[in-house]
Amino acid sequence: MPWTNYHNHCKYCDGVEDIETHVENAIREGIISMGFSSHSPVFFENKWSMNVTDMPLYLRDIQLAKEKFSDQIEIYKSMEIDFFPEQSGVINKWTEDLELDYSIGSVHFIDAFEDGIPWEIDGPLLTFEKGLNEIFDNDIRCVLEKYFDYTIQMLENDCPTILGHVDKIKMQNHHSFFFSESEAWYIDLLKQTLEVAAKSGVIVEVNTRGLYKKRASETYPGIFGLQLLKDFGLPVCLNSDAHHPKEIIGEFENTAKLLKQIGFNELMVLKNNTWQARPFDLSGIHW
């Protein structure tokens, strides 16, 4: 049976290979519906966001692939859009101005260094430690409170179609131990965030990238977060956050098994331009 994946990066941001190559491999891997979601341009230089001058080429290539492979796969255009409180509204603006089929909203940056450059919280360990020390005086709880506060602000004020890797900041625990995910204060922060998500209408992705890249021992969100999603009745989609064509179904079977064990019976998919809940099992989605 087929799979779907709506979180894919290509050469226009920090991914590799062109869009057509991604699509060809997706077809080989049994993907029947996919979306491209390169990192949106931001107001400062970094190594992984799309350059605004490449936007027309990015959208053109998606459209060309959509036309070329229309009899084999459904292709949708999107972006993974960074949320900054001072730029609230940018997710909806990008979505409307570019006529995107959907949006992924994510938090990758919190606060900023003295030079005004936003602090990247899911990058190299040294960068994380530098921001933790210089901006937050090594108060990891304060960091987590602000991270989830940003996510809540996004859900309440500029809600995307899909909430990206909701607890990705925990990836730093894979490098070095900064906080315990079993502590009551952390559990409360995650729970409060997902309670807001449940009221927003957002789809929450189950992101497998940390697993197949060996940067996490669980999906984003992890088992406790997945149980909360089930308890709150939040709709979910399964995404690999692929940055290379070979990653498009990374850890899908194992994650589908986990989701079934927790009690999920449906995944959200884009079919004929409409979001639909479809049954799934370990071999794919009942299309």
Q: Among candidates 55, 28, 26, which has minimal Cα distance to 39?
A: 55
State residue 276 phi and psi, 5-degree precision: -135, 150
CATH number at 225 reads 3.20.20.140
Burial class (CB in 10 A: 0-12, 13-18, 19+), 115: exposed
Residue 47: pLDDT above 90?
Answer: no
Q: Cα–Cα distance between 241 and 212 in angstroms, integer?
A: 10
- What percent of the chain has pLDDT above 90? 96
Write down the pLDDT at residue 226: 98
Q: Please name the residues in contact with 66: beta carbons below 8 A apart, sequence gap of 6 or more.
A: 75
pLDDT band of residue 221 (cuts 50, 70, 90) is very high
Q: Cα–Cα distance between 70 and 276 in angstroms, integer?
A: 20
- Determine how many CB atoms are found less than 10 A away from the CB of residue 265: 11
Residue position matching structure tokens 């001058």: 53
Residue 1: pLDDT above 80?
Answer: no
What is the residue range of 47's domain? 3-285
Query: CA dihedral defined by 191, 146, 14, 71, rounded to 10 degrees?
Result: 30
pTM of structure: 0.97
- The tokens describing 278, both together, are 């479809």
State residue 152 phi and psi, 5-degree precision: -65, -45
Q: Please give the mean pLDDT across all residues of the chain.
A: 97
Q: Cα–Cα distance between 52 and 12 in angstroms, integer?
A: 10
Residue 279 pairs with which residues in a beta bridge?
266
Write down the pLDDT at residue 231: 98
Write down the pLDDT at residue 247: 98
Number of separate domains in the chain? 1
Write down the pLDDT at residue 159: 98
CA–centroid distance for 207 within its chain:
6
Write down the pLDDT at residue 180: 93
- The tokens describing 256, both together, are 């589908």
Write down the pLDDT at residue 175: 74
pLDDT, tens digit, 9 for 90 and up, residues 245-256: 999 999 999 999
pLDDT, tens digit, 9 for 90 and up, residues 101-141: 999 999 999 999 999 999 999 999 999 999 999 999 999 99
Residue 189: pLDDT above 80?
Answer: yes
pLDDT band of residue 176 (cuts 50, 70, 90) is confident
pLDDT band of residue 219 (cuts 50, 70, 90) is very high
Q: Among candidates 6, 22, 10, 23, which has minimal Cα distance to 71?
A: 23
